[in-house]
Amino acid sequence: MSEYHKNEIKFDHLSINQIHLKRLVLFLTICITLLSCSNDSSDDEIPDVEEVDLTIVEGRYKGAWKWELGDGLISMIITQGEAANRYNVEYFESNNYLPRRRSDGVSPDARGELIVDGMNVSIDLDHLVDDPPCPGKFTGTGTFNENGELAFTMNIDDCFAENEPATWELEKQENL
């Protein structure tokens, strides 16, 4: 065999080994990548978005009121009171939990209590508006259903209306 053919054979043998080495490195790289991606650590999981529990009365609500003098948007924040079936209510004459007629721009337009008896509810709020001053009382009865909805038949008694009937319908937006 000539010297030329010996070098050619060595060259072919070297090329085959390089090809096998490259394939082995590629295979190991793929295996390591796959193993690192299949980590079962719970730290990498995307947290679940908290679902609104519609069976709990506590929460933030938005809705509308309707009466003879006009309709409007309202919101309420309801928190647990001193007894299991009694809740504290902050009422806002807006749909964004901001007061409409309070000089400080923070305090609710009315405060009071919500009493729950099964699916029946009653509400008693003191209207605290001070810009312009307009004290009054909002009282009513209604229902709380399994869909997180409050519906009231109200009696409005303040400087704008005297014993005026109204309806309030609100839907739970989030838990507290």
pLDDT digits (tens, 9 = 90+) for 64-89: 999 887 899 999 999 999 998 999 99
* Alpha-carbon gap, residue 77 to 62, rounded angstroms: 9
User: What is the number of other CB atoms lying within 10 angstroms of the CB of residue 165?
Assistant: 13
Q: Where are the domains of the chain?
A: 3-38, 59-174
Sign of CA dihedral 126, 130, 135, 140: negative
Considering the domain 59-174 in this protein, what is its CATH number?
2.40.128.120
Is the CB of residue 168 less than 8 Å from the CB of residue 65?
A: yes
Using the predicted structure, report yes or no on whether residue 155 has a pLDDT greater than 70: yes
Q: Tell me: pLDDT of 19 over 70.
A: no
> How far apart are the C-alpha atoms of 15 and 8, rounded to whole Å?
10
Residue-wise pLDDT for 102-144, tens only, equals 878 888 999 999 999 989 999 999 998 887 888 899 999 999 9
Rounded (5°) CA angle 74-101-90: 50
